[in-house]
Amino acid sequence: MSNSPYSLRFRQVHLDFHTSPIIPGIGEHFDKNHWQQTLKSAAVDSITLFAKCHHGWSYHPTKVGKIHPHLDFDLLRKQYDATKEIGINAPIYLSAGVDNLASYDHPEWREINKDGVFTGWSTRILESGFHMMDFHSPYLDYLCEQIREVVQLFPDCDGIFLDIIAQHQSCSRWSLDFMKANGLDPACEADRKESSRLAVEQYYIQTTAVAKSLRQDMPIMHNSSHIYRGRHEVLPYFSHLELESLPTGGWGYDHFPLSAKYVSNLSLDFLGQTGKFHTAWGEFGGYKHPNALRYECAAMLAYGAKCSVGDQLHPNGMLDQSTYKIIGEAYREVEAKEPWCRGAKQCFDVAILSSEAEGVGDHKASADEGACRVLLEGHFLFGVVDRTMDFSEYKALLLPDNIRIDEALKEKLDAYIAQGGKLILSGESGQWKDRENFAFDIGADYEGLSPCFPADSERNLGHDYFLPVPELRASFVDMPQIMYERSHRIRAQGGCSLGQIFDPYFNRNWSDFNSHQHAPNLQESSGYDCGVKHGPILYFSHPVFRNYRSYGAVAYRHFIVNAIRSFLGGEQRLMTNMPSTGRASLTYQTDEQRYVLHLLYAPTVSRGGPIHLSLAEGKRLEIIEELPSLHGIEVSLRLAESIRTARLEPMGVDLPFERVGELINIKVPAFSCHQMIVLKS
């Protein structure tokens, strides 16, 4: 199975319409002219419309499911025809993994775990929320018939969007029968996971086939809220990718770059998906500040994505004027910038080998997130890869914290090094998977894990100290600094030390402790090194990326960034004095033969306390309100081509620059939020 190339539009709205059966007057205020004028005024060029929601109700006459009990006309058809009439694309949405109407009529189709408890959002009978359905049950046939009906009713629609694609370790009667028939033991967690994997595999096969039953070129998107790194086996079932990432809904502002930098290495077009909400999905009357949405859409363009903004339609069917005024502010800017973003490919110097793709971290892997955050704040041009991808285009490959080496990966990394590539390792990364020593010559002797950690710590958090060599230190720290996780004991032998480790006076326990936390450091170095540089290898002896993600100590980042810059030498293509809250990316448009440098700036603040939402329990909101201007920004670029012109776009203003050797130096005029600099040879 293969997908024909599919190109997305730039300015999409994902129009949620999950509507309770007890709400009256569904769609009663829908007005064709108001609908059309609202979308056009907001510069929307694609909008996802609902055929069936999480509650299980359909919004068109149906012979398979049930139309919403308070809808007395074909709302989907009215929306669809009004949308297509003005040249706006209309993909159609069906809830797939949850369906409360189906679970009410067929409770036996619902997922249930090994302890007899329902899974998903709603796990108790009297708990509000949506019900996860078991793909091993006849529900999958029911879902496929709903999809078939929609593609027959709307054969020229612009795609099918299927949502909540997941299966937990279900032990429903259908899953138990499946496991028994296929030699799997329900008492074994690995077998339950395999049963779930096979259920989702059947879901992909059957739903994709029925979605394409009338048109082989029907676009299709299966949404799991996350694009799982390394899961190439599911990609043939997608025409494109939509990266759900609502910064204020619990994802945060550094989530989207990590996803985008991975999928930019895949062959599918993709868009970012944020929301207009102050928090997340399902929020009526919540409005994000227009500046936040402007920044989020600009970031999508900078990282190679098209744009999608999530909204939720009021049950009365009328689009919210405040929402589309806010969306319009962002989308009119996107429309003006499209010529310099169409067909653009990201340029990278460094790649993170994803710990999630290696199976040593889930989609919230703190090592991946920490590495991403360090490189974003250090303004490196970097991508994210898995082991199946080509490493040759990258000057260095970063293995964050917990990626151990097997024979297959060793062979690929050896070939990469032989071709001039470099490795950045930390913590246990670079050690053999099955033994406690390094798979590469790191220029140091290895003596195992540090014994310095509190005996009463369940997580074995370390508390030794590190002092980098002067040229790698943060400018404001000249004394040993605490590190919150255990180091690996190395002594430089042939390699260049990055600095020294200092042990505490003692490990904290019930009888031996000092003050509120850890004991202070001894005055003499332990004789071990906090890292080493040796030929094509840079190694940090602590899990520095996980530590930075968890604790955010600025001095950590300075140390890591200084060490990586020194290691890369003169091979970086981009250097800038932007603040750490600024972001930079470089793209290349092959047809136009030009580079586009994207500079982004929007300081975030944390406001309010922990929020209590199903998708963001205990998280704090990152808010963007003001977009202050940046002044005095300088950029140096090292490009293979001889650049002749630099221009600020979309303003069309020529920009002077100077050449110093192989560098192009640019003084950037003051800008706010997003600036594109187009460089042409």
Query: Tell me: the pLDDT tens digits for 151-199?
Result: 999 999 999 999 999 999 999 999 999 999 999 999 999 999 999 999 9
3-state secondary structure of 355: coil
Kindly report which listed range (231-245, 459-473, 559-573) carries the lowest average pLDDT score.
Answer: 459-473
Q: Is the pLDDT at 395 greater than 70, yes or no?
A: yes
Structure tokens at 156: 């020229």
The per-residue DSSP string of 1-30 comes to --PPP----SEEEEEE----TT---TTTT-
Average pLDDT over residues 291-295: 98
Burial of 635 (0-12, 13-18, 19+ CB in 10 A): buried
* Count of other CB atoms within 10 angstroms of residue 670: 11
Kindly report which listed range (333-337, 412-416, 452-456, 597-601) carries the lowest average pLDDT score.
Answer: 452-456
Q: Which residue has the tokens 């500079």?
A: 599
Which option is the CATH number for 350-571: 3.40.1010.10, 3.40.50.880, 2.40.50.140, 3.40.50.2000? 3.40.50.880
Average pLDDT over residues 232-242: 96
Q: Give the length of the chain.
A: 681
CA distance 189 to 169: 8
Structure tokens at 249: 């809904």
The pLDDT, as a whole number, for residue 607 is: 80
| 522 band by pLDDT with thresholds 50, 70 and 90 | confident
Q: Is the pLDDT at 97 greater than 50, yes or no?
A: yes
Task: CATH 2.60.40.1180 in the chain: give the residue spans.
Answer: 576-680
Rg over alpha carbons for the chain, rounded to the nearest Å, is 27
The second-level CATH assignment, the architecture, of 576-680 is Sandwich (2.60)
pLDDT digits 0-9 by tens, 412-467: 999 999 999 999 999 999 999 999 999 999 999 999 998 887 765 555 566 899 99
User: What whole-number percentage of the chain has pLDDT above 90?
Assistant: 85
Q: Is the pLDDT at 375 greater than 90, yes or no?
A: yes
Average pLDDT over residues 294-312: 98
Structure tokens at 681: 């040879």
Q: Is the pLDDT at 510 greater than 80, yes or no?
A: no
The values of phi and psi at residue 539, to 5°, are -130, 130
CA distance 64 to 4: 30
Angle 114-120-122 from CA coordinates, rounded to 5°: 105
* Count of other CB atoms within 10 angstroms of residue 237: 22
pTM listed for this prediction: 0.95
The pLDDT, as a whole number, for residue 621 is: 85
555-558 contacts at long range (C-beta below 8 A, 24 or more positions apart): 555/473, 555/474, 555/476, 555/477, 555/481, 557/374, 557/377, 557/378, 558/473, 558/474, 558/475
CA distance 294 to 673: 8
CA distance 536 to 419: 11
Average pLDDT over residues 107-134: 93
CA distance 432 to 403: 9
End-to-end CA distance of the chain: 40
Q: Is the pLDDT at 5 greater than 70, yes or no?
A: no
Closest CA to 247 of 199, 291, 216, 203: 291
The values of phi and psi at residue 449, to 5°, are -70, 145
The pLDDT, as a whole number, for residue 615 is: 59
β-strands 496-497, 499-502: how paired? unpaired
| 269 band by pLDDT with thresholds 50, 70 and 90 | very high
Yes or no: domain 11-345 corresponds to CATH 3.20.20.80 = yes
Closest CA to 559 of 431, 450, 567: 567
User: What whole-number percentage of the chain has pLDDT above 70?
Assistant: 96
Q: Is the dihedral of CA 461, 462, 465, 467 positive or negative?
A: negative
Q: Is the pLDDT at 361 greater than 80, yes or no?
A: no
| 276 band by pLDDT with thresholds 50, 70 and 90 | very high
The pLDDT, as a whole number, for residue 103 is: 97
Q: Give the bridge partners for 621, in sequence order.
A: 607
For residues 638 and 662, is the Cβ–Cβ distance under 8 A?
Answer: yes
Average pLDDT over residues 341-349: 97
Between residues 584 and 620, which one has the greater pLDDT? 584
Type of residue found at 361: G
Q: Is the pLDDT at 3 greater than 50, yes or no?
A: no
For residues 173 and 106, is the Cβ–Cβ distance under 8 A?
Answer: no
| 121 band by pLDDT with thresholds 50, 70 and 90 | confident
Structure tokens at 587: 């793209």
| 4 band by pLDDT with thresholds 50, 70 and 90 | very low
The pLDDT, as a whole number, for residue 517 is: 82
Torsion of CA 391, 396, 400, 402, to 10 degrees: 60
Q: Is the pLDDT at 363 greater than 80, yes or no?
A: no
Q: Is the pLDDT at 531 greater than 70, yes or no?
A: yes
Structure tokens at 274: 């944020």
Q: Is the pLDDT at 639 greater than 90, yes or no?
A: yes
CA distance 308 to 410: 40
| Average pLDDT over all residues of the chain | 94
Average pLDDT over residues 345-366: 88
Q: How far is CA 42 from CA 30, 87, 266, 357, 561, in A?
A: 18, 14, 31, 38, 41
* Count of other CB atoms within 10 angstroms of residue 415: 12
Task: CATH 3.40.50.880 in the chain: give the residue spans.
Answer: 350-571
The pLDDT, as a whole number, for residue 364 is: 61
Q: Give the bridge partners for 89, in sequence order.
A: 46
